[in-house]
């Protein structure tokens, strides 16, 4: 009985602290940006330290941007090299000048209800990638 109480307290503490700790191997996988209105922003994170980001227009599902580079994970943050921070804009044509907008980006990573999420545009609240 004592063990059950201690276990329950540990789980409660984990949930109260905005999710349980996320290990580097938990981050690897396929993600989709949630709550985007104009784009389908997909992100694949690979075990070898690389990632691939693709952005599609929602209207016709046309690919408007694709990029690959490297990532690192440390202390509940993931850092992407040469990342395009999608603002969920309406992209009329395939954007060839995206490369001028690529930056090193670092985002918090959380695990809630067994779902790993990468939070970007935290000031806007709802925008995040969710692991599939």
User: Nearest 5°: phi and psi at 11?
Assistant: -65, -40
- Whole-number average pLDDT of the chain: 83
CA dihedral of residues 110, 64, 45, 127 (deg, nearest 10):
0
H/E stretch holding 124: none
Output the domain CATH number for residue 72. 2.40.128.360
Does residue 115 carry a pLDDT above 80?
A: yes
Please report whether residue 103 resides in a domain: yes
Q: For the chain, where are the E strands, in sequence order?
A: 29-34, 39-45, 50-57, 63-74, 77-83, 103-112, 115-119, 128-131
Please report whether residue 6 resides in a domain: no
Stretch 60-89: mean pLDDT, rounded? Answer: 93
For the full predicted model, state whether its pTM sits above 0.95.
no
Range of the domain at 66: 19-131
Stretch 100-129: mean pLDDT, rounded? Answer: 85
């Amino acid at each position: 009985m004592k063990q059950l109480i201690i276990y329950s307290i540990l789980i409660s503490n984990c949930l109260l602290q905005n999710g349980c700790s996320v290990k580097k191997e938990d981050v690897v996988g396929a993600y989709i940006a949630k709550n985007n209105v104009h784009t389908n922003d997909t992100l694949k994170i690979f075990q070898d330290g690389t990632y691939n980001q693709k952005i599609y227009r929602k209207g016709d599902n046309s690919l408007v941007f694709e990029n690959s580079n490297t990532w690192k994970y440390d202390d509940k943050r993931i850092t992407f090299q040469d990342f395009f921070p999608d603002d969920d804009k309406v992209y009329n044509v395939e954007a060839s000048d995206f490369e001028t907008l690529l930056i090193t980006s670092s985002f918090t990573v959380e695990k809630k209800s067994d779902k790993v999420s990468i939070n970007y545009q935290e000031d806007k609240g709802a925008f995040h990638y969710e692991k599939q």
